[in-house]
Amino acid sequence: MIAAAGIDVLQPRHLKDALIMLRVAADEGRPLVPLAGGTDLFVTLNAGQKPAARYLDLWRLDKLRGVEALGRRRLAFGGLATFTDSIESKAVHKRLPILVDAARQVGGVQIQNRGTLAGNIENGSPAADGVPVLMAADARVVLRSLDDERAVPLAEYYTGYRKTVRRPDELIVRIEVDVPEGGQRFEKVGTRAAQAISKVVMAAVGHRVAFGSVAPIIVRAHKLEAYLAAGGRDIGEAQRLVAEDVTPIDDVRSTAEYRRRVVANLVAAWVPSLDKRTATR
């Protein structure tokens, strides 16, 4: 049981109202915490961690729902697009199939039905499953405030552990992806396939590659990417470079040493597939 009685919730029906509420609250110095499906938020509330006093419930903003296919390689996910939306979208299957793989491994169906991509991004967990895929695919996060809109590359969205560039008056209204050419690969290494938080996640699109659970934030492996983009294919060198891209730690789920080893192994298994014509999944 949580002490729900003292928690305020605002429930706008229109995006504009939501943006006004965010602005007013930000100006008052009492920012509202956006609430979508609640699958992360309620875990911290239920654990008795101090809740923010005020929430902004986005669930009624139907305009933010769903996934749109724009052109042959382009996808636009609404700010409330759920993991189930991605699993059920033919456009996502066709353009970014590794996002479907990742979505299917996010908790059970119950979580997939409520959890949103935007929430997965904003929550800022370094172990998020959906974020590495979107980051490897060069996704942009579209932030809107009452008077402007800006698109931030997901790879530049995090400023530190669970810290993002979102201002308190802004809302993630859309996530846009122009899926780059090339094979796609998604690997989640955890204790078991379903219902487990990862020890290491790797997502790759072409030579772009992102890792989860190996740093305070989800990271792109820039050194490794530069080497691969220049045509480098030596596995030993690739492993040496990726070791500089990641900074894993020991925690409840795994050890830094194990994570380094797994990252190296995943890279060794992935690099030889880079020049094959068929997509590897």
Partner 1 sequence: MKKAKTKTNAKAQASAKAQANTKAHAKKKTKAARSPKITLRLNGKKAAVAAPPMKRLLDTLREDLGLTGTKEGCGEGECGACTVLVDGAAVNSCLVASCQVAGCDVQTVEGMARGNAKVAARLHRLQRAFLEHGAAQCGICTPGMLMAALALPKRATLDEIRAGLAGNLCRCTGYMKIYDAVAQFLDGERR
Residues that bind partner 1 (CB under 8 A): 1-2, 4-9, 11, 35, 37-39, 42-43, 45-47, 51, 55, 57, 59, 84, 104, 107-111, 113-114, 194-195
Sheet holding 219-220, edge to edge: 184-190, 198-205, 208-212, 219-220
Question: Shortest distance, CB of residue 54 to partner 1, whole angstroms?
Answer: 10
| Selection from 272, 102, 276 nearest residue 202 by Cα | 102
**Beta strands 8-10 and 54-57: pairing type?**
parallel
Q: Smaller CB distance to partner 1: residue 9 or 229?
A: 9
Q: Structure tokens of 59? A: 């669930």
Select 87 or 224, whichever has its Cβ closest to partner 1: 87
> Smallest distance from the beta carbon of 194 to partner 1, in angstroms?
4
110 versus 278: smaller Cβ distance to partner 1: 110
| Cβ-based nearer residue to partner 1, 103 or 221 | 103
Smallest distance from partner 1 to CB 13, Å: 11
The distance of closest approach from Cβ of residue 64 to partner 1 in the complex, given in angstroms and rounded to an integer, is 14
Q: Which of 169, 165, 79, 155 is nearest to 115 (CA)?
A: 79
- When the beta carbons of 114 and 208 are compared against partner 1, the nearer one is 114
* Residue 78 CA: distances (Å) to CA of 35, 45, 51, 263: 15, 26, 26, 32
- Name the residue nearer to partner 1 (CB basis): 35 or 214: 35
* Nearest distance, CB of residue 111 and partner 1, angstroms: 6
Type of residue found at 206: G
Q: How far is the CB of 61 from partner 1 (least distance, A)?
A: 12
